[in-house]
């Protein structure tokens, strides 16, 4: 699959999809409380996307995924399936949302604290967000994807964390997952050169201890091998003629 350069009309549709995805995360935040199940969070998001936004939750039935969002708790790295699990005080949870509107995708995820997290969980979450910011702030025409990966990897490792290598960001548009792959590690001056009109996600997964992960028998949920905590944040990014635009920016963010 070749990398697609979006037209102005396509970019406008992606802005709409990105805004809707951000709105889902803003909507669900107050419901992430002790005692709620991940399945209840999924239902609220599904009903909001379908009923209020008149849009489509992209994960539902994507390659057989059974729910409308992903919920990854504590040592779950990504692709957690919502269900009967009750969140408890001190948990951290990533909620990953992708909305399709008028044929285009907006993809974003956010870490949430369930009441008050541990010092270690808060620090990991904050460092992971900083990794995302450092990757985004490099985006502009002419830089290479290896520069972004290197910035994320260097910062994470400087804080004594590790970067998950098996999963990465991706191009996005009409397709949920398009070219290029956006690795969260790498060497400067390597990889695809960015051009205006490219759209892709940056979504670092950072582990508290080792980088090793394994896939659970449900064939979706990925967890850390050593049961250390993991955190992830994600945004959909547009390369502009002079830099970047965060298409999934939430109202409380300044990037």
C-alpha 209/C-alpha 192 separation (Å) is 30
Q: What radius of gyration, in Å, describes the C-alpha atoms of the chain?
A: 17
Mean pLDDT calculated for residue range 140-157: 98
Mean pLDDT of all residues in 59-79 = 98
Q: What is the structure's pLDDT at 222?
A: 98
Phi/psi for 99 (5° steps) reads: -115, 135
In this structure, the chain runs to a length of 255
Alpha-helical segments (H) within 29-61: 38-47
pLDDT of the residue at 28: 98
Please report the pLDDT score of residue 242 as a whole number.
Answer: 97
Q: What is the mean pLDDT of residues 157-183?
A: 98
Cα dist from 33 to 28, 72, 129, whole Å: 10, 15, 21
Q: What is the mean pLDDT of residues 142-146?
A: 98
192-213 residue pLDDT tens = 999 999 999 999 999 999 999 9
Residues contacting residue 53 through CB under 8 Å, at least 6 positions apart = 20, 23, 24, 99, 101
> What predicted TM-score, i.e. pTM, was given to this entire model?
0.97
DSSP-assigned beta bridge partners for residue 199 = 238
Distance CA 58, CA 101 (A): 10
Count CB neighbours of 40 within 10 A.
15
Mean pLDDT score of the chain, rounded to an integer?
Answer: 98
Q: Taking 70 as the threshold, does the pLDDT of residue 1 lie above it?
A: no
Could you count the other beta carbons within 10 Å of the beta carbon of residue 172?
28
Residue 166, pLDDT above cutoff 90: yes
- Of the pLDDT bands very low, low, confident and very high (cuts 50, 70, 90), residue 90 is very high
Confidence of residue 130 (pLDDT cuts 50, 70, 90): very high
> Where residue 38 falls among pLDDT bands split at 50, 70, 90?
very high
**What's the whole-number mean pLDDT along residues 163-188?**
98
């Amino acid at each position: 699959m070749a990398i697609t350069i979006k037209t102005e009309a396509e970019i406008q549709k992606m802005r709409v999809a990105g805004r809707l995805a951000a709105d889902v995360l803003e909507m669900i935040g107050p419901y992430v409380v002790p005692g709620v199940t991940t399945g209840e969070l999924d239902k609220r998001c599904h009903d909001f996307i379908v009923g209020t936004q008149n849009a489509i939750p992209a994960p539902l039935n994507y390659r057989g995924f059974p729910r409308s969002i992903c919920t990854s708790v504590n040592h779950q790295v990504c692709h957690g399936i919502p269900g009967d699990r009750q969140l408890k005080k001190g948990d951290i949870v990533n909620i990953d949302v992708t909305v399709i509107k008028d044929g285009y995708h907006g993809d974003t995820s956010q870490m949430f604290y369930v009441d008050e997290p541990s010092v270690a969980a808060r620090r990991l979450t904050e460092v992971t967000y900083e990794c995302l910011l450092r990757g985004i702030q490099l985006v502009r025409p002419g830089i290479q994807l290896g520069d972004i990966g290197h910035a994320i990897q260097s910062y994470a490792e400087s804080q004594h964390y590790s970067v998950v290598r098996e999963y990465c960001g991706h191009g996005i548009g009409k397709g949920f997952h398009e070219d290029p792959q956006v690795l969260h590690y790498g060497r400067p001056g390597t990889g695809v050169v960015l051009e205006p009109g490219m759209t892709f996600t940056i979504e670092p997964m950072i582990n508290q201890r080792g980088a090793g992960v394994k896939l659970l028998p449900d064939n979706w949920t990925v967890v850390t091998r050593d049961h250390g905590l993991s955190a992830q944040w994600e945004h959909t990014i547009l390369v502009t003629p002079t830099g970047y635009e965060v298409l999934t920016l939430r109202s409380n963010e300044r990037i």
